[in-house]
Structure 1
Amino acid sequence: MKLTTKFSLNSLCFISTITNMDLLPSSPLSYLVYIFTLLVLLKFLIPKNKINKKNHSKLPPGPSPLPIIGNLLKLGNKPHHSLANLSNVHGPIMTLKLGQVTTIVISSADIAKEVLQTHDILLSNRTVPDALSVLNHDQYSLSFMRVSPRWRDLRKICNYQLFSTKTLDGSQALRRRKLQNLLDDIERCSETQEAVDIGKVAFKTTINLLSNTFFSADFVHSAEEAGEYKEIVVSILKEVGAPNLSDFFPRLKYFDLQGIRKRSIVSVKKVLNIFKRFVADRLKMREGTGSIGNDDVLDALLNISLDDGKIEMDKDEIEHLLLNIFVAGTDTTTYTLEWAMAELMHNPEIMSKVKKELEQAVGKGIPVQETDIANLPYMQAVIKETFRLHPAVPLLLPRKAEIDVQIGDYIIPKDAQVLVNAWVIGRDPNKWDNPNVFLPERFLDSEIDVKGHHFELIPFGSGRRICPGLPLAIRMLPLMLGSLLNCFNWRLEDGSNAGDLNKEDEYGITLEKSQPVRIVPIKVTK
């Protein structure tokens, strides 16, 4: 096969990307076959890029792309860090070419406001990762489906039934029970001086809270079982967040060269099968009794599906909606609590301030209740500061331009992917003093909140695509964090000191700690 010099260079660049992704076979013969196959695929399956010359000159600046692969090598294994470094060079709005996908990266609060508020209606749809285009989940996923009458119906269900103030006020007793279960588990560890994996116990509490809200039943009954479920959820999020050739070169989707789609199908099917059993059992029970019985969220959703009203919903949609909420709601809350505990262990003076406030407002050794939260401004500041430094979804979820959109002097071209780097926005020295220092005091006497109105702090996003679970998250986190701090003192295991606690992050689609927070609880006496 005769290849031009240009094509050979393109191919070698692309192969270097493959090498970075640990995809090359080990034996020499299979290596040669693999390279030959890639060259054929690149030659015949990837069309030449067609650039709108009129708008090309108006694209935001960015690093020069390599042939074929564009700027893929610039991403690294921590894209939120890499993109932050690139924004220092190319500015707060920049263009990257990720394979065939034109990507606009936003790295400032002011431009994020343009994207998420001013032009929200034109930038509300998503680019859907191939990892989620499995088992029809992309058609049912509230997080990724197109803005449409169907999407609006599902948002109404979330806003007015699942996460409304009335619904959440009515389920306070349930959250108190799940919180007490958490504290009981930790007290048992304190009696044996056993270290607690904060991520696992937080995940168990969060997933059981959701499962009781939805199904009136616990999902998991031990930390080990919670760990197994957590691995499934983490695997889904990591596949979605992993650099995927199928996303960068759409014509390669059929081949699933990295096996991401195959692995994602396995994980998604595991979770869907759990929900299918719950739905089937509930339908069978309702047929037998002729009545609702549990009066939980699943019954409410089934009532909607069986009603002849304005909103239609079938069994598949219920199962995929549950998958969406469970995956999105468990890890984000877990990681935020884990990061908060890690920062407090690193900053004992801040820890002491929080504990003093809790003792005065709640009473020493007493679990926090939702009515206490308004009287705990310093603890709320600690949570906001955790969101600022460690947003659960550092690049938010990708958006897609419906038409050419003008932002300042630049054009975001139609079909471009738009990424908002909430991680770097939270560390912008133009908006924050000492941006890399954990300093909750910055939020005292400040109106800044996390509800999508202040674009320097947008861990839940903003606009019509803001996370629907925000109202539950901002209730659960103060309850869990406040009770862990007020009912227990904490020390590192094995005589370690705070400086030994790892604070490195690991990118999936969510921001995970690279090492778990394992600390030993000491029961506080009232």
Structure 2
Amino acid sequence: MAVSVILLLLLSFIIILPFLLSSYKSRSKSKPNAPPGPRPLPIIGNLHQVGPIAHRSFYILSKTYGPLFRLNLGKVPALVISSPSVAQQVLKTHDLAFCSRPPLITFQEYSFNGCDVAAAAYGDHWCNLRKIFILELLSSKKLPSFVSAREQETQMMVESIKARADDKSNIFIAGTDTSAATVIWAMSELMRNPAVMKKAQRTVREVVGNKGKVEEADLPKLRYIRFVINETLRLHPPLPLLIPRETTQHCKINGYDIDPKTRVFVSAWAIGRDEESWENPEEFNPDRFIGISVDYKGHDFKFLPFGAGRRICPGINFGVASAELALANLLNAFNWELPPGTRKEDIDMFEAPGVVAHKNTDLCLVAANN
């Protein structure tokens, strides 16, 4: 019986082998004007070259193949973009060709069968949905209506920490959404850079005075907190790889031919570390934003934490206001220390696997009431 099964499997393999080889040759053979990229393997394509933290794997590959390279994710052709100049071509010059979404299983499961504003394919449905979303929920005029909710949630967070601060308990700062992730990364960077922490706290406390808490009306006066958030978003964008796009038509990028139905990954993480755009890109330095007009609203292609073009994140204003308010209150209400025996160099600055850039390990700090 066992011999029969082995012979059957062997015969099946011999039959399908020519088809596998033919498929491999056709897929691994580069088109005359295709972007550069690593040679794919049969069936899996280049999946063996993509680790659990995909944006770091893509960053390493970009050092060999350049800021625009192709690879196969199984049978799916894909492009990875990792420089401001190429991102501008994709997100602005040829935005219409790159503005749709691929039919991902994740979208089907968690985005109303791929029909919400983030996941829907480009078309009339998405255009109408985005218009409603922006005008009725997240426009600059609607933003003030959420102020009380944001302030209440922030105050609840502060009170919860105060309850544990008196006994010097270790406090694990963690969160699930993108705004929380940004605050956690900001606190991690501030703990690694004490001079920046002191400057940020001094700025907040001078503005707040004896009020005891930061209100949203104070945020326009806290420009340095905005710079801290900007620098955090540069090094730790909420989505290191922007939500994938899919080409709807043939186009040329950097002189290369890009076919329809190509999946496109724009690496905001790599762009924020572009050496031609940022001096000492690995250094956390909020002062770099002083006196320059760079913002996160998709106008500057060297700084794309929320994307650009038609598919830019519609919740930018809401998310940034939430992060700024939370961070400012944490800096105003508490003096922060690392647990005994922990050095600033010991703080883990790697990301956990996943779409959102959460820290690989929770940030553990000791808070003392100010």
* TM norm structure 1: 0.65
Equivalent pair of 2:171/2:365 in contact (CA under 8 Å): yes
* Maintained 8 Å contact 1:505/1:511: yes
Matches within 5 A, 1:111-260: 111-134=86-109, 137-199=112-174, 203=175, 230=176
Match of residue 8 from structure 1: none
The CA deviation at 1:423 is 0.6
Which of 26, 31, 38 lines up with 1:56 in the alignment?
31
Provide the residue aligned with 2:281 in structure 1.
435
Q: Which residue of 1 aligns with 2:313?
A: 467
Question: CA–CA distance in 2 between the matches of 1:41 and 1:362?
Answer: 75
Does the 8 A contact of 2:103 with 2:114 survive in 1? no
| Equivalent in 335, 340, 360 of residue 489 of structure 1 | 335
Distance 1:417 1:51, change over 3 A: farther
Amino acid at match of 1:164: S
Shift of the 190–402 alpha-carbon distance from structure 1 to 2, 3 Å rule, reads: same
Partner amino acid, structure 2, of 1:130: I
Q: Of the candidates 388, 393, 398, which is equivalent to residue 244 of structure 2?
A: 398
**Counterpart residue type for residue 144 of structure 1:** A
User: 1-side partners of 2:152 and 2:101: how far apart?
Assistant: 37
Residue 364 of structure 1 and its aligned partner are, at CA, apart by 5.8
Aligned pairs (5 A) from 1:15-34: none
Moved more, 450-459 or 146-155: 146-155
Q: Secondary structure at the match of 2:134?
A: helix
In structure 2, relative to structure 1, the CA distance for the partners of 1:64 and 1:371 (3 Å cut) is same
- Residue identity in the other structure for 1:147: Y
AA aligned to 1:148 is G
Decide whether the 8 Å contact of 1:49 with 1:100 is kept in 2: no
Q: Secondary structure in 1 aligned to 2:77?
A: strand
> Structure 1 residue 457 and structure 2 residue 303: aligned?
yes
- Letter in structure 2 aligned against 1:195: N
Q: 5+ residue gaps in structure 1?
A: 1-31, 204-229, 231-330
Offset of 1:174 from its aligned partner?
Answer: 2.2
Check the 8 A contact 1:365/1:486 in 2, yes or no. Answer: no
Q: Which amino acid aligns with 1:426?
A: G
1:131-185 Cα distance to aligned partner (Å, 9 max, x none)? 3323883332321111122212221221011112222112312222222111111
Counterpart check, 1:503 vs 2:346: no
Separation of aligned partners in 2, 1:191 and 1:96: 54
- Larger mean Cα displacement after TM superposition, 331-340 or 494-503: 494-503
Partner of 1:370: 216
Question: What is residue 407 of structure 1 aligned with on the other side?
Answer: 253
Match for residue 229 of structure 2? Answer: 383
Of 101, 108, 124 in structure 1, the residue corresponding to residue 83 of structure 2 is: 108
- Structure 1 range deviating more: 157-166 or 417-426: 157-166
- Once structures 1 and 2 are overlaid, which stretch shifts more, 430-439 or 187-196? 187-196
More helix by share: 1
The yes-or-no answer on 1:479 pairing with 2:325 is yes
Where does residue 217 of structure 1 map in the other structure? none
Residues 157 and 39 (structure 1 numbering): CA distance in 2 closer, same or farther, change over 3 Å? farther
Amino acid at match of 2:134: N
> Secondary structure of 1:368's partner?
coil
CA shift, 1:384, in A, is 0.6
Query: SS of the counterpart of 1:192?
Result: coil
Q: CA deviation at 1:514?
A: 0.7
Contact 1:127 1:398 in 2 (8 A): yes
Out of 64, 67, 85, the position equivalent to 1:89 is: 64
* 1:337 is aligned to 2:312: no
1:376 is displaced (CA, Å) by: 1.5
CA change 1:517–1:365 in 2 (3 A) is farther
Rounded to whole Å, the distance in 2 between the matches of 1:519 and 1:429 is 32
Structure 2 residue matching 1:507: 3-state secondary structure? coil
Distance 1:44 1:476, change over 3 A: farther
Q: In the alignment, which residue of structure 2 is the partner of 1:325?
A: none
Whether the 8 Å contact between 2:307 and 2:313 is mirrored in structure 1 is yes
- The CA distance in 2 between the partners of 1:386 and 1:504, in whole Å, is 14
Cα deviation, residue 350, structure 1: 0.4
**Alpha-carbon contact 1:332-1:510 (below 8 Å) kept:** yes
Q: Provide the rounded CA distance (Å) in 2 between the counterparts of 1:388 and 1:57.
A: 36
Letter in 2 for 1:348: P
CA distance in 1, matches of 2:169, 2:112: 41
Contact preservation (8 Å) 2:296, 2:305 = yes
Paired letter, 2:129: L
Superposition deviation, residue 452 in structure 1: 0.9
SS at match of 1:521: strand
**Secondary structure in 2 matching 1:489:** strand
Residue 78 of structure 1 corresponds to which residue in structure 2?
53
Contact 2:225 2:328 in 1 (8 A): yes
CA distance in structure 2 between the partners assigned to 1:40 and 1:130 by the alignment: 33
Q: What is the CA–CA distance in structure 1 between the aligned matches of 2:236 and 2:59, rounded to whole Å? A: 14
Q: Distance in 1 between matches of 2:182 and 2:209?
A: 25
Displacement of 1:50 in angstroms is 9.4
Taking every aligned residue pair, what percent have the same amino acid on both sides?
36
Gaps of 5+ in 2: 1-5
Equivalents in 1 of 2:347, 2:135: separation in Å?
Answer: 42
Provide the C-alpha distance between the structure 2 equivalents of 1:42 and 1:134, rounded to a whole number of angstroms.
33
**CA deviation profile, 1:394-433 (whole Å, cap 9, x unmatched):** 1101111111111121111111111111111100111110
Q: Offset of 1:68 from its aligned partner?
A: 2.8
Once residues 316 and 185 of structure 2 are traced to their aligned partners in structure 1, the CA distance between those partners, rounded to angstroms, is: 18
Distance (whole Å) between structure 1 residues aligned to residue 309 and residue 260 of structure 2: 20
Equivalence for 1:244:
none
Q: 1:189 to 1:128 in 2, by over 3 A?
A: farther
Find the counterpart in structure 2 of residue 354 from structure 1: 200
- Opposite residue 437 of structure 1, the aligned amino acid is E
State how far apart, in whole Å, the 2-side matches of 1:45 and 1:129 are.
27
Scaled by the length of structure 2, the TM-score of the pair is 0.91
Going from structure 1 to structure 2, the CA distance change for 1:41 and 1:522 (only over 3 Å counts) comes to farther
CA distance in 1, matches of 2:15, 2:345: 50
CA RMSD after TM alignment: 2.8
